[in-house]
Amino acid sequence: MYWEKQLEIMPREELSLLQAERLQETIINAQKTSFYRRLFARNQIDPEKIKSPEDLKVIPPTTKADLREGFPFDFLATPLEDVVRLHSSSGTTGTPTVIYYTASDLDRWTNQVARSLYAVGMRKNDVFQNMMSYGLFTGGLGMHYGAERLGALTIPIGAGNSKRQIWFLKFFKSTAIHIIPSYALLLAQLIKAEDLDPRRDFNIHIILLGAEPHSEETRHRIEEIYGAKAYNSYGLSEVNGPGVAFECVFQNGMHLWEDYYILEILNPQTLSPTAPGEVGEIVLTTIYRDATPLIRYRTGDLAFLLDEPCPCGRTHRRISRIQGRTDDMFIFRGVNVFPMQIEKVLMSNPEVGNNYRIVLEREDYRDTMIVEVEIKPELFSGDVQKLARLKERIQSELHSEILVTPEVVLVEPGSIPTPEGKVQRVIDRRPL
């Protein structure tokens, strides 16, 4: 039932002592970074007085903007020659956030994911088909190494290519999959189009959902279609990635691994702690990471604390499914997209007018993105080929910026409603 029984069911008092010990080591390590040396000096913080999680409140939270401004090395606490990998996520201005890993960091992250997978019932005899993207995003590689640590046969198939996914599911009898919720629904349709039944013709019994928010109703629908249990997970690129928090077999909230992180759920406006059951922003402090320590990192993710004990016996506190975000970022097919990224591309084209709109919908379980773009009046001269070339160029530039390809619709000036107040650039019609 447990990957690391002693740590997973550790009494809360002992877990608090372990957190305090690792926090003190983290504070010492953080002083090796340019960012935290400046932060402590600017706020007259005595690092030696940070002894327990309760003492963290004197330290201002770290934000994604801080990470971008500190690019590339202000958050690096180890010599660069000790770094063996980096992961990166996109940003609103083109400046990415970059997180560095030592070999020890990767080993700990791998173990953390393995613990999570074991908690939902994955074992050595499972065949794990990883349908997430591999590369700078953390989702694919994080789950991959965790599954291998368990000893499961791991298929690094990556995202997309549905016919290939179905072929591997059928012939290698994959028992566990890691998949985006909307793609799980779409894939089921494609399976049925091949005269196959997801329940009858496959061996899937564990579905690991990630990369995009989804409702409990969506989870139930996926479970019904595949005849398998679907488990929620939580992670973000800045704080390792997958495995930060994970459901257990009871599916009643995600255990956040408190031997790796200190959890706070704060009111996004006041930064005061929320009560159990009250939605707030997840704020995390890494306490078992060498290369890139983060103290009180504001994730932008909204959730609430589940305070009652879990029947599984694990003592690590649980958080709810993610309720939303504090910023305007949206997730499209597993990729984090900021409207400003799209605006940057559009406004760099002289043919484009001053107004645009992003419309998100879901058709046949698949997310669609339409970018409606007003263009200069002179372009509506009847030159269809010129318009087609412009549309193709904008789509190509958008793909280079956000890593997915939306449908671009060119419209006449004044076609998109423009209120006198704040403009709503994103119209999200996708059901939760």
Classified as helix, coil or strand, 141 is helix
CB 242 within 8 A of CB 138: yes
pLDDT of residue 92: 46
> Which domains are assigned to the chain?
1-327 (3.40.50.12780), 335-428 (3.30.300.30)
Percent of the chain exceeding pLDDT 70 equals 97
Q: Tell me the pLDDT tens digit for each residue of 171-200.
A: 999 999 999 887 888 899 899 999 999 999
For residue 322, what is the DSSP state?
Answer: P
pTM: 0.81
Write the CA distances from 230 to 25, 237, 347, 372, 382, integer angstroms: 37, 22, 42, 35, 52
pLDDT class of 336 with cuts at 50, 70, 90:
confident
pLDDT of residue 381: 72
Q: Tell me the pLDDT tens digit for each residue of 252-284.
A: 999 999 999 999 999 999 999 999 999 999 999
Q: Tell me the pLDDT tens digit for each residue of 81-97.
A: 999 999 998 654 568 89
pLDDT class of 125 with cuts at 50, 70, 90:
very high
pLDDT of residue 421: 41
Residue 23: in which H helix or E strand, if any? helix 12-30
Contacts of 41 (CB under 8 A, 6+ apart): none
Contacts of 77 (CB under 8 A, 6+ apart): 29, 30, 32, 33, 290, 291, 292, 293
CB 285 within 8 A of CB 56: yes
pLDDT of residue 101: 98
